[in-house]
Amino acid sequence: MKTGSKAGRIISIGTAVPKYLMSQDTILKFMQKEYQDPTASRKLNVLFHQSAINSRHSAVPDFSDTDERMLFPLTHELPMVSERIDVYKQQSLPLAVRAVENSFKNLQTSIAEFGITHLITVTCTGIYAPGLDIELLQALNLPADTFHTSLNFLGCNAAFPALRIADSLVKSQSDAHILIVCLELCTLHFQPKSNSDNLLSNTIFGDGAAAVIMVSETMAMEHKLKGFSLTGFYPIFLKRGKELMGWNITSINFEMILAAGVPEFLGEELEQLMIEVSEKLNLTIDTIDHWAVHPGGKKILDTVQHGLQLTNNELRHSYEVLYKYGNMSSPTILFVLNEIFKSNPKSGETVFAMGFGPGISIETASIVCHGFV
């Protein structure tokens, strides 16, 4: 084992979404039938058409305009949480494997040839043991002594602590090959509840997975591997607003708490946040070349854009991911980073990543691009 490295470098990001693709209009029709409530239908209609989302993916076909159902029967009976987790068990592994395979396609190598020494899985929409980390160890035929751990119930910004753990690992073990897999099947937790939290959640959340391959800066330089070098992290716990975002586990589902006031609340923190980011990460707005902001919803992106006086172009990757996929919780920021990665940024350019999660917590990271043309 080699020790000592100055930073971790993301050398590939692979993404995957379930095969069931539905437009927002199609999902809206499904939900209006399930709610069977004219008042809720009117509210959903407004929310959907203000969402800036074109389509979302689901692990189940139920939200389509056919009668094909896997989880939500035509009788409108609600599945219990155990039934939803059963579907999660069936659908999560194949999706995770596809994301991993796509990450290795980018490197034009196989998992066996490259080798993985550490595996970190992230999810908040399904939990069981042995869990997704063990399933992936077996499915990918990883060595029995592969380090593995799982981060659960950290919400939409959970990719950040996973990246931070991976960064710490490569700093202590420069020959580490780390695989991070973030996977969420948010749509499994649909329920036609008419409070504002559920109406908003049902408007924006979709399913997806992303896989990240990280090595040490030393190894990346030796093998001339381009990528994103992680130069710093700054997490902030706001000590207020914890009632605005979270999960409740009920007998029916994992019930999302997402208050409509979240964007305004976050907007109040942006000025102080950037002051602290400047001090902690040595980044200012005018030195940031690329922005990767978690697209928790259109209002959140609009709030960041207006609060920091950014242009539409600077958050284009976040808006694009929201438009194509909705908010997929933890993998979403990796979809945004992947869009920046694919845009072939110039070496030396900076990326500032920011995500929001229960607590309320704000996670940030500074990145420098290396090896790009």
What is the predicted pLDDT for the residue at 80? 96
Last residue of a domain, one of 222, 240, 275: 222
Tell whether 331 and 314 lie within a shared domain: yes
Tell whether 114 and 190 lie within a shared domain: yes
CA atoms within 13 A on the CB side of 103: 31
Tell whether 142 and 81 lie within a shared domain: yes
Tell whether 26 and 160 lie within a shared domain: yes
User: What Å distances lie between residue 275 and 271, 281, 283, CA to CA?
Assistant: 6, 10, 9
The answer to whether residue 211 is domain-embedded is yes
Last residue of a domain, one of 181, 197, 222: 222
The answer to whether residue 1 is domain-embedded is no
Q: Is the dihedral of CA 318, 323, 327, 328 positive or negative?
A: negative
Contact partners, residue 366, CB within 8 Å, separation at least 6: 230, 231, 232, 233, 281, 282, 283, 350, 351, 352, 353
Tell whether 25 and 155 lie within a shared domain: yes
What is the predicted pLDDT for the residue at 250? 87
Tell whether 109 and 236 lie within a shared domain: no
The answer to whether residue 16 is domain-embedded is yes
Tell whether 88 and 29 lie within a shared domain: yes
Tell whether 279 and 144 lie within a shared domain: no
Residue-wise pLDDT tens for the chain (373 aa)?
A: 555 557 899 999 999 999 999 999 999 999 999 999 999 999 999 999 999 999 999 999 999 988 899 999 999 899 999 999 999 999 999 999 999 999 999 999 999 999 999 999 999 999 899 999 999 999 999 999 999 999 999 999 999 999 999 999 999 999 999 999 999 999 999 999 998 889 999 999 999 999 999 999 999 999 999 999 999 999 998 878 888 888 888 899 898 888 888 889 898 989 999 999 999 999 999 999 999 999 999 999 999 999 999 986 999 999 999 999 999 999 999 999 999 999 999 999 999 999 999 888 999 999 999 988 6
Which residue has tokens 């172009």?
313
Tell whether 233 and 335 lie within a shared domain: yes
Tell whether 238 and 215 lie within a shared domain: no
Tell whether 105 and 233 lie within a shared domain: no
Tell whether 175 and 58 lie within a shared domain: yes
What is the predicted pLDDT for the residue at 120? 98
* Residue 144: both structure tokens together: 């029995």
**Residue 292, Cβ neighbours under 10 Å: how many?**
27
Q: Residue 284 sits in which domain range?
A: 227-370
What is the predicted pLDDT for the residue at 239? 79
The answer to whether residue 3 is domain-embedded is no
The answer to whether residue 341 is domain-embedded is yes
What are the start-end ranges of the E strands in the chain?
8-16, 20-23, 55-58, 118-123, 147-152, 178-185, 207-216, 227-237, 245-249, 254-258, 290-293, 350-357, 361-370
Indicate which CATH number applies to the domain containing 168: 3.40.47.10
Last residue of a domain, one of 158, 188, 222: 222
**Residue 202, Cβ neighbours under 10 Å: how many?**
27
Domain count of the fold of the chain: 2
The answer to whether residue 2 is domain-embedded is no
The answer to whether residue 88 is domain-embedded is yes
What is the predicted pLDDT for the residue at 5? 56
Distance CA 215, CA 102 (A): 17
**Cβ atoms of 183 and 209 closer than 8 Å:** yes
